[in-house]
Amino acid sequence: MVACGDPGLTSTSIEGSEVQRYVAMTTVLESPEHGPQLCLGGIATSLPPQCTGPDVVGWDWAQVEGAESVGGTTWGEYRVMGTYQAGVFTLTGPATVAGPADLPTGEDIDFSTSCSEPPGGWAVVDPATATIAGQDAAIAYAQAQPDFAGLWLDQSINEELSQTTDPNVVETVANDPTKLILNVAFTGDLSRHTDELRAVWGGALCVVERERSLAELEAIQMNLRGHDGMLGSGTDVIGGMVDFYVVVDEGIQEEMDATYGEGVVRVTAALQPVD
């Protein structure tokens, strides 16, 4: 749900007042149940596909190319520009077909380790517990702690994983506990947590501190439910924040910063303003 702006365009005047224009790269879909809509909240991968989103005023399938139709449902990928008011997107110019390079593909998650590399590099410290069972025990311990803030696996030290594309080999290599760094975050008492983890886990380990526990982030995420314009949300345990996806950000980021503090909720809007 990433969109891009066009700096060469400005706001438009409707009924004597300046109204902000927005742009998005998205799927437009019309079904027998509803007219044209922008699929900003995700698409069900059925045939025909299904989605929900703002109604589109001024849409004409005869004016665009690249549409598909199955069972009375018509859809296509387009770059659209228009105004957004009262939950309705009104076109202010012709839509154009969005190519593969234009459409959002999602950002790759960075699973990099938060700790500095120890002297001698990342290595197994106890082969007897650098096992799947040891990894599972460490994860179970971490998740049981009240101040647990999240965990992730960094497989950047697994050179064999980057050298193969065979899915069978990838699965085997990726599950090798001796070739990964277990990253675990807590809100404090890192020395004790490190000792407890080392008692059950002999592989590479990074223990880091975060300001808020996972439970606190999930509570914030729950509080966001029902917010106007919400498309979805999630917790980013690597960054220690909540991701909040909305149709348009009309002061929502400022609202989140004022409510929860800066850097706690990251707002991403599907419709991006045209300056």
- Please give the residue that has the higher pLDDT: either 14 or 225: 225
Q: Over pLDDT 90: what percentage of the chain? A: 64
Say how many residues make up the chain: 275
pLDDT in tens, 30-48: 999 999 999 987 788 888 8
Burial of 107 (0-12, 13-18, 19+ CB in 10 A): exposed
The ranges of the chain annotated as CATH 3.30.300 are 214-273
Secondary structure element (H or E) that encloses residue 51, with its range? strand 50-51
Is residue 21 within 8 Å of residue 81, measured between CB atoms?
Answer: yes
pLDDT in tens, 6-32: 333 333 444 445 788 999 999 999 999
pTM for the whole structure: 0.79
- Please give the residue that has the higher pLDDT: either 241 or 110: 241
Rounded Cα–Cα distance for residues 141 and 199 (Å): 11
Give the tokens for residue 118.
């120890």
What does R_g of the chain's alpha carbons equal in angstroms? Answer: 24
Architecture of the domain defined by 214-273: 2-Layer Sandwich (3.30)
Rounded Cα–Cα distance for residues 60 and 25 (Å): 17
Tell me if the bond preceding 54 is cis, omega within 30° of 0.
no
Residue 138's alpha-carbon distances to 52, 128, 197, 211, 237, in angstroms, are 41, 14, 5, 21, 17
